[in-house]
Amino acid sequence: MATFDTEYDLVVVGSGTAGTMAAYIGAKEGGLKTALLEKAPQTGGGSVFTEGHAAFESSEQKARKLPPRPGMHYPTRVEGYQRYIDYSHKRAKPEVVRTAVNESAETIDILKSLGLVYTHVDIYALEQPSELASAHFSEGLGQRMHEVLIQAARDAGADVFTSTPARELIVEDGKVVGVAAEDADGQALRIGAKAVILAGGGFGANVEMLRKYSRFAANAEALVPLCPDTNTGDTVNMALAIGADTFEIGTLALVPLANGKNLAAITNGAGSQPVLWVDRTGRRYWDEFVALCFADAANVIASRPGGVSYSIMDQDTVRHLIENGSDIGLGEFVKFQTPMVTLQTELDEAAAEGEMAWKADSIEGLAKAVGFDPAVFRATVDQYNEFAAKGEDPLFFKDARYLRPILKAPFYAIEMRGGILGSVGALNVDGDMRVIGTNGEVIEGLYATGEDAGGLFGDNYVLDVPGTASGFGLTSGRVAARHAAKVIKV
């Protein structure tokens, strides 16, 4: 029989969106003696960087009646369910999607009861009409949401341990009965539990797992983690080690990212625009209007040779972005049609460094600076300018409004890569978030939530339902904790 240094009813591993909600529900509603383990020195994980969270038929949507966009409506649960299923090309798990959709409205009410104030419920990309108006934005965004949740968990009696990494699951007679961890002093700690909820945030910061599981294996080193560096897949590997099955493992939520910059950098916003895109051969390769959906755009970029792409623009386009703003937004980071007033300064500084942006007075000079074959790049630019002059793109059928010519010197190139917001496919779970083993049976006592759980996606993040990652984290954490409490009390 296993022996422990301390025992709890419920142990939650990871203090991001899913884990903190699970700890709160377990302690408050379930009345469970709850421990929340976080390997970082502080709680929150990637939740502090989130914006809105998705929900359907919520009290906030009902109170507002209509979104602040003409001709739009708030989606029903049926519409949400169908969008997830269709977007995944029928690869998502119906029971997981059903849980994410049906249970989402209560998530909003719980957060409101804890003091979170919602400012608007809307789409994410203001220029994207295909999005559902599912994103619930609150005061203080993810940072405030986490502050509210972690305080509520503590007030409910949950014990929160930081700098306490979980190392492996303890199994007895086929049932998970605890977690082997290390305390803040690096000492081994065996914690008994009647149920364990995994909420480690996936493996976006683990290049070995990206190489092993993602479809961008050849370019794994070129991907840039934007998630916390603690999201290394520890919880996923712990479950795999005891026979857990996977579901669409390797699915990533990616966003275009200027090499070496963050999402809020103006150069990143400029590089994400639907200007001329070329790969490292100096050739155009796609309809750049794919930029409208950042998840699709980043997948395209990450699939190019070496995992890099270059956004090419001339001085007139730079002036357009400075004076008129972006053609494509990126939520709160790059606001739609907001003038990029500091773009020239940032571009000149980056070009002077010559590591992620380049500037030249001729097309051939720009080619040499970046490393393109000058003749190939010249031909690419000439052809693109011809398409712009005719207002027609016979290669990729790009919308003529975004065929901006490359004519006026100086000319610029910005190196873009795929930035990883997180991995969003991993462990196979059922609708109660119970982990399923490779034998097809539920692993008793083990749950996976948020980015540790598979089932909501196919091979891509669903940008058509904005706020999905955060919304699913919150809802899956609550569902798992409630089910665990029900089982424990039997």
Task: Extract the tokens encoding 151.
Answer: 């305080």
Scanning the structure block, which residue is given the tokens 């730079």?
A: 318
What the block records as the tokens of 141 is 């965004």
- CATH code for position 393: 3.90.700.10
Residue 92 located in a structural domain: yes
Q: What is the mean pLDDT of residues 78-86?
A: 97
Least Cα distance to 272 among 178, 340, 184, 171 occurs for 340
**Is 1 a domain residue?**
no
Cα dist. 477→22, 24, 184, 375 in Å? 4, 9, 25, 55
Q: How many residues comprise the chain? A: 490
92-131: pLDDT as tens digits: 999 999 999 999 999 999 999 999 999 999 988 766 778 9
Q: What is the CATH number of the domain that holds 232?
A: 3.50.50.60
Token pair for 298: 């980043």
315-342 CB burial, b ≥16 within 10 A, e <16: bebbebbbeebbbbbbbebbeeeeebee
- The average pLDDT across 151-165 equals 98
pLDDT range class, residue 49, cuts 50, 70, 90: confident
Same domain, 217 and 351: no
Domain count, the chain: 2
Render 266-293 in DSSP notation, one character per residue.
HHHHHHTSSSEEE-TTS-B-S-GGGGGS
The predicted pLDDT at position 335 comes to 72
pLDDT in tens, 210-258: 999 999 999 999 999 999 999 999 999 999 999 999 999 999 999 999 9
Q: Same domain for 184 and 279? A: no
Inter-residue contact 139 to 119 (CB < 8 Å): yes
Cβ atoms of 193 and 485 within 8 Å: the answer is no
- 418: confidence class by pLDDT, cuts 50, 70, 90: very high
Amino acid 1: pLDDT: 80
Q: 151 and 18, same structural domain?
A: yes
Residue 383: is its pLDDT beyond 70?
yes
| 456 and 388 co-located in one domain | no
**What is the chain's mean pLDDT, rounded?**
95
Tell me, yes or no, whether 434 and 444 share the same domain.
Answer: yes
424, 253 contact by CB (below 8 A): yes
Question: Which amino acid is located at 402 in the chain?
Answer: Y
Task: Say whether both 259 and 145 belong to one domain.
Answer: no
Distance between start and end Cα atoms, the chain = 22
333 and 348, same domain (yes or no): yes
Q: Determine the structural domain holding residue 161 and report its residue range.
A: 6-251+424-489
* Domain end marker among 363, 395, 420: 420
Q: How far apart are CA 475 and CA 470, in angstroms?
A: 9
* Torsion over CA: 361, 373, 380, 355 (sign): negative
The answer, yes or no, to whether residue 332 has pLDDT greater than 80, is no
Q: Among the residues of 305-447, which ranges form H helices? A: 315-324, 343-353, 363-370, 374-390
Cis peptide bond N-terminal to 94, omega within 30? no
Q: Are residues 292 and 244 in the same domain?
A: no
The mean per-residue pLDDT over the stretch 175-198 comes to 97
User: Does residue 331 surpass a pLDDT of 70?
Assistant: no
Instruction: Judge if 297 and 187 occupy the same domain.
Output: no
Residue carrying structure tokens 């540790």: 452
CA atoms lying within 13 Å on the CB side of residue 123: 22
User: Which tokens in the block code for residue 134?
Assistant: 């599912």
Tell me, yes or no, whether 349 and 481 share the same domain. no
Give the CB-side neighbour count of residue 298, counting CA atoms within 13 A: 29
Q: What local confidence, expressed as pLDDT, does residue 127 receive?
A: 66
Final residue before a domain boundary, out of 420, 455, 479: 420
Mean pLDDT of 144-160: 97
Question: Do 62 and 103 have their domain in common?
Answer: yes
CA–CA separation, 50 and 44 (whole Å): 11
Residue 334 domain flag: yes
Domain boundary (420, 445, 477) is at 420
* Residue 328 one-letter amino acid: I
Reported confidence tier of residue 29, pLDDT bands at 50, 70, 90: very high
- Number of C-beta neighbours around residue 394 at 10 A: 10
472-484 mean pLDDT: 98
Q: Do 336 and 374 fall into the same domain?
A: yes
